[in-house]
Structures are given as C-alpha cells and as structure tokens.
Structure 1
Amino acid sequence: MHSDELVESYRQNGFVVLDEAVSPDEVSELHAAAEQLCRDIGQAPASEPAEDVLRKHLCIHHPHKASAAALAALHAPRVVETLTAVIGPNVKAMQSMLFIKPEGKPGQAWHQDEFFIPTRDRSLTAVWIALDDATVENGCLWVLPGSHRRGVLYPDREQDDLRFDCTVEAFDFPYSDDDAVPVEVPAGSAVIFNGYLLHRSLPNTGRRGLRRALANHYMSAESLLPWQSVPAGVHVGKHDYRDIVMVAGTDPYAYKGIEDRARPHSRPDKDGGCDR
C-alpha cells in the first residue's frame, strides 16, 4: 500500500495493517526480552522453563524502560514513517505494553484507547505489533471500521462476560458485533489504529500456545498529555505528562524536560487484569 493510500485508509477506517513492521530477528529479540523481563520481575529461577515463566504474566507495562529490544521497537523505522504520515512530523510515545495471552485466557471487551489515555486531540495512535501469528483462534484484535470518525467517547459500564477480563466495556454505540472485522496478522506485522477506534479481543481458544503482542502508544508532540495524576500546584488544564519518548521531529515542550515516572512492572495472571 502506497503512503497516500495508507493515510486515506487510516482516515476512513481508523486502522491499517503494516506488513513487516519489524524483522524476524527483531521478533526473536522481543521474544527473548519478554522472557527475561518476566524472569526478572517474577524472580523466576533459571531452571524454570520459558513458557512456564511467561504464563505467569498477562502484561509487562513499560518494557521499553528495561529492554533495549522493546525500546528499539518503539522507534521501528517503518512504524515511525507511518506515524508521521497519519499524525504529523512531531511524534512522542508515552507508553508500551507487552501482552502475553496463553490458551484459555480471555480478551478485552469493546473499548477506545482514548478512554484510558486522555489526549483529546484525536492524534492518539496505537501500534499493536504481533509477536506470534495473531489469528481468530488465538485471540487477535477485532475492530469496528470507521468507529473513530465521530471523535467521541462512548459511555462505559461494568460487565461480567467471562470472555473478557476487564470489568468495563464501551456501549451504546451505533454498531453491532456483526460489523466487527477480525485483524489477523503474521508475527512482525503491526495493526496501527486511532485512539477513538472501537476494538476488542476475544479469548485464546487454541489448544496450546501463546499469543504475544507489543502495544505502543503515540501522539502529536504539539499537544499536552493530561494523563496520570496531576501534581500538586499544577492547574488541571496545564497538566502535561512528561514521561515520554520522542520518536520523530522536535518537541515543542522540550523546555519542560523529560521525567522518569513510570516503572516497568507486571500484571500477573492471578490478578485477572485487562488483556488484549
């Protein structure tokens, strides 16, 4: 897909698939990084098999702060080229998440990333990199094409569907499950989607195997990021989360400096936290 076609498809549908976003060698490096992060955070003994170590964790938050491979993926050239085409020349990242979904584990109900990361400028963009072939069977992403275009956040409510491990879901939107499209991608490819796009994932129903993915979030560097708690003495309207990584262009707020607030941590399987 040419750049103009990619941008137009992204604007119309709210997502695009970027083939070979990272190389096979980089996927292997991310596999090794995932194992090492799980071992380090979980203090697993060296003798414990890799799959057993990985299965204890649903998600590693902010892996780019502890893994050179994850940090490199945040800057992947093909990804950054696409981001500058759909966001603009100046792009910052604010988080990374490494998801691990073994067989039998649930997905996450319909939601919009903008609900969790309040940029409000419509530039929030997720890059979901498959580290295993993502299929309907093992819990790939599903999207509602075009659901980003209104630029509104739909209401949320508690839910107890056993297919999903988060208690909150978006609802009362003008789409049905019949409108949903599965986004099956091979390892190394990325699903790039808008922060207002409604999306979900279903359980990994495969007989055995992991479905790993690295999800990174980016936005325009021109906009403030009113995320996380507001420091004492700072007006809410001026709050700008500065634990960021510049991946393209220049930072117009560089005079504020960069903070190091978030720490890499695990969402253990036993906690029943959200997964994708």
Structure 2
Amino acid sequence: MENSSKIPLTLTRDTGRLSLGQRIFYEKNGFILIPHLVPLDVLERCNQRFEDISSGKVPKGAMTVMRDINDRKSVNKLQDFNTDEVLFEYVSHKDVVDVVESFTGPNIMAMHTMLIAKPPDIGYGSSKHPPHQDLYYFPFRPADKIVASWTAMEPCDVKNGCLYVLPGSHKKFSLLPHEYPSESVNKMYHGIQKLEDAKGWINLEMQPGDTVFFHPLLIHGSGINQSKRTRKAISAHYASADCTYIEVEGTVQEKIKDEVMEVVKRRLPGVTNVKFDDIWRFKSALVRGIRSSL
C-alpha cells in the first residue's frame, strides 16, 4: 500500500510529477488528461514540419507518409519519425517525459511515433478509427509499463472527430481480437467488432497543448471528421526499456504482424531475414535513462 487511503497503486509510480488524485484517476480509468502540457511553439514547429514533409519540401527520410484511402491527395499521418530532430522535440520534451516516467520508470524508450492529421471526411467515413486497444500493435510486454501520450495540435471536438475512451476498460478487458470493419477505414485501422454492450464512453474534447496519457489496453477510438477543419494531433507510445519482446504467433496479434511484414517485404524486396522485433528496434529510440532489453 502506497498511501494513506490504502488504495494499492500498481500502474503508476510516485515520481512527484502526478498528484495522488491523478494517479488514482489513472489507475481506475486508464487515462489522465493534463491541460496545457505542451508549449504551443513546440506544436507550431511540428506543424510546420508536417506541412514541409507532406508537400515534399523536406525529404521524409525513413518515416512513413500515409494518405487517406479515399482521398489520395490528403496526407493523414506521418509515422515513425524517431530520427527527425524537429518532430522528435515533442517525443523527448521534458514535460511529456516527466509524466511518462510516472508509468514506465526511469529508463524510457519511445517505441512508436505519429502525427495524425485527420482530414475532413469526403463522404466515405474513412476518417474514423474504430474502437481499439493499442497493445494489439505492440509485440512487447508487460502492458503496465507501456503508455501513450496524445497531444492536440488543433482544437479537437466531437465535430471534427476527437478521441473517445471507455473508462476502466483497461482492467475490464484483456487484449481482444481486432479486425477491419465492413465499412471503409484507412490502412492499419483495425478495430474491436463486438462492443455492443459497452457503456460509459467519454469524448475527450481538447485544446492545443492538452495531452492525454493512456494505458495500452484502454479501449478508445475517434469519430468521423464532419467539419471542414483538420484535426491534428501528435502522439508517442513509450515503454520501459526493460520490457521484452514476445512471440505473437498463434495469438490475436498474428494478423497485424503478418500485415506489417507484408508491407516490409514490398518496401525491401531484397531483404529476407528481417524479423518483427527488428522493425520495432529500428523505429524506437531512447529518450531517458539506459537502454536495455528493447
């Protein structure tokens, strides 16, 4: 027992960055939203970098530039920018990493990075992301030493497809099967298809700089952008450096592994000995402390 209220806190650590109330909220709900955490000048530089890469003014390097499945003119995501010094300013920002340490401990790896520019939907519904658990994508454990940060770069509201979350689902559900829904969604936007009885969803409307941290088993998604505005956000997934890779063959994650490996084979046709773990090692980076297992 860590505190006078005798509530066992197993998902957070007392680093002095989160209050006891914030830690209890996260333990119960699987997320915590911190307003005004990231300075606007950092977000402005990241936004300009997005525009420069999207337009071809700056080479994309090793990162992935993704376009909307139905609107090929629209770049909806930059992914895996661990080697880009401008975008990595967000990932390594002290105010973000200080909070992350409350979940991971002092040795911290950035495992997955994204800048998401949800475009106005052109009528196909592909701008939504079905309810999902981020752990589905990750071949490393334990889950309790993994956390996401997600920061609004523009106003995010119900109209333009803000995040929604199912509080407490990180404890109620184990890792569930994910599939592509029958309707149109973008590549890799797998979702949980049987959540008809789930109740208590919350929309997370946010202003620029507001940042939500959430557990990788928390069920969440985002709606269709029904506005004429974009909905930009920047996100990173962090893990303790002492997490270890697992084998996903024969599990609910085998399908996403196969899909990722098919993409790698198309991009690197002459390379035959790349493993799933190798991909994650390539796109990860140390942000604090000492690198060990990952």
TM-score by length of 1: 0.76
After superposition, the C-alpha distances for 1:225-260 in whole angstroms (9 at most, x for unaligned) are 35876x8498x9x97942321122222348xxxxxx
Residue 171 (structure 1) aligns with:
193
**2:171 matched to 1:152?**
no
Output the CA distance in 2 between the equivalents of 1:222 and 1:5: 27
Q: In structure 1, what residue type is equivalent to 2:281?
A: R
Question: 1:249/1:3 Cα in 2 relative to 1: closer, same or farther (>3 Å)?
Answer: farther
After superposition, the C-alpha distances for 1:185-235 in whole angstroms (9 at most, x for unaligned) are 1011111111111001001111x2111111111111111235876x8498x
Residue 91 (structure 2) aligns with:
74
Output the CA distance in 2 between the equivalents of 1:22 and 1:130: 9
Residue 257 (structure 1) aligns with:
none
**2:232 matched to 1:212?**
yes
Residue 287 (structure 2) aligns with:
247
Output the CA distance in 2 between the equivalents of 1:72 and 1:42: 17
Q: Is the 8 A contact 2:78 2:114 kept in 1?
A: yes
Q: In structure 1, what residue type is equivalent to 2:104?
A: I
Question: 1:174/1:103 Cα in 2 relative to 1: closer, same or farther (>3 Å)?
Answer: closer
Q: Is the 8 A contact 2:181 2:193 kept in 1?
A: no
Output the CA distance in 1 between the equivalents of 2:231 and 2:274: 43
Q: Is the 8 A contact 2:149 2:213 kept in 1?
A: yes
Residue 163 (structure 2) aligns with:
141
Q: Is the 8 A contact 1:154 1:172 kept in 2?
A: no
2:103 to 86, 99, 115: 86
Q: In structure 2, what residue type is equivalent to 1:220?
A: S
**Larger relative contact order (CA 8 Å, sep ≥ 6):** 1
Deviating runs (4+, > 3 A) in structure 1?
164-168, 171-175, 225-229, 231-234, 238-241
- 5+ residue gaps, structure 2, are 1-16, 60-71, 247-256, 262-271
| Number of residue-to-residue matches in the alignment | 238
Deviation at residue 160 of structure 1 after TM alignment: 1.9
Q: Is the 8 A contact 2:131 2:191 kept in 1?
A: yes
1:225 to 227, 232, 245: 245
Residue 98 (structure 1) aligns with:
115
Percent sequence identity is: 24
Deviation at residue 80 of structure 1 after TM alignment: 0.8
Question: 1:171/1:120 Cα in 2 relative to 1: closer, same or farther (>3 Å)?
Answer: farther
Output the CA distance in 1 between the equivalents of 2:20 and 2:153: 27
Residue 273 (structure 1) aligns with:
none
Deviation at residue 107 of structure 1 after TM alignment: 1.0
Q: In structure 2, what residue type is equivalent to 1:217?
A: H
Output the CA distance in 2 between the equivalents of 1:71 and 1:119: 22
2:183 to 146, 158, 161: 161
Residue 36 (structure 1) aligns with:
52
